[in-house]
Amino acid sequence: MWASEMEIITMVFIMNGYADYFQACGTRVVSHHLNQRIWPQTKIIGGSSTPYGAYPWQVELQAYKGGWEHHCGGALVSETIALTAAHCLKDFKKSQLRIIVGKHNLAKNDKHEKTYRVQKAIIHPDFRKDGPHSHDIAILKINAFNSNGIKFDSHVQPICLPEYYTKSNDVDWCTVTGWGAQKQDDMTSLPKVLQAASVPLLDLETCRHNDVYGGRHQFILDSMLCAGSLEGGVDACGGDSGGPLACQINGKFTLAGVVSWGDGCGKKNRPGVYTRVSYYINWIKKAMLELENN
């Protein structure tokens, strides 16, 4: 029997030095317990402040707008690769972007913080092909100071990638993190420290319902994932874009989604919509291999 494309890519992935990645990814030294509840927690919107190092795969993406400013989030998936949302990159050249790992407090330099320039950015070729928010995913190659890339430590670690594509949700609740606005349409309300919120995953049928996102300008594609209570109150918001939706599976955190879009922040019947990372796993692995070898 011929091996599937995914099996072949995974074998090449391992042969190119990623065997250790599968062992070490998705782990953390600093724990953080979030209540799984559907009412507001404090104000990601509805999130809570995190202890430093609890989400070591979280990266900050800054953009140069006359000075370096917080722009989006991202997720570290290897020593040299981070994932983010494609819409975070559309108005900027790579020279106008930089990545900060080990970041926690936007108001000061953190102990494990390091800043890197973007060496290369790949936006998914079908971005916006199937609607204004479709295929909203991009890969960043980090311009590290040496050929080995970022040095992992207690506060800087990669998150696991999904092993395969699935429409179903492997778990019921996941965690979204970021430094996004705590009030809708108010980018002056960015928190000082990284916020996290536990959000329930919704099936596609629920998200496509007429009372939710059915019949709107963007159809909910199989490549999207909805998370958040239909009662509202807890959600990602402006400035969280590109950040990780992390799900704990078999004791390790896996990147299930990338913060993409929504109608407002924390509104009733308007859950957050994420790029479903598993849908793009073959494209991601191929691009990572290409970037690592160039």
CB 97 within 8 A of CB 142: no
Compute the Cα dihedral for 280, 55, 87, 133 and give only its sign: positive
Max intra-chain CA distance, the chain: 58
CA distance 194 to 79: 22
**71 carries an active-site annotation:** no
**241 carries an active-site annotation:** yes
Residue of 223, 241, 260, 278 with catalytic role = 241
Q: Which two tokens stand for residue 257?
A: 């989604």
**104 carries an active-site annotation:** no
Q: Which two tokens stand for residue 70?
A: 């917080």
User: What own/partner pairs with CB < 8 Å and gap ≥ 24 does 89-98 have?
Assistant: 89/121, 89/123, 89/138, 90/123, 92/63, 92/64, 94/118, 94/119, 94/120, 94/121, 95/64, 96/63, 96/64, 97/61, 97/62, 97/63, 97/64, 97/71, 97/121, 97/140, 98/61, 98/62, 98/64, 98/68
- 265: phi then psi, degrees, rounded to nearest 5: -135, 115
Residue of 110, 136, 235, 240 with catalytic role = 136
CA distance 144 to 150: 6
Residue of 87, 133, 135, 155 with catalytic role = 87
Which residues are the active-site residues? 87, 136, 241
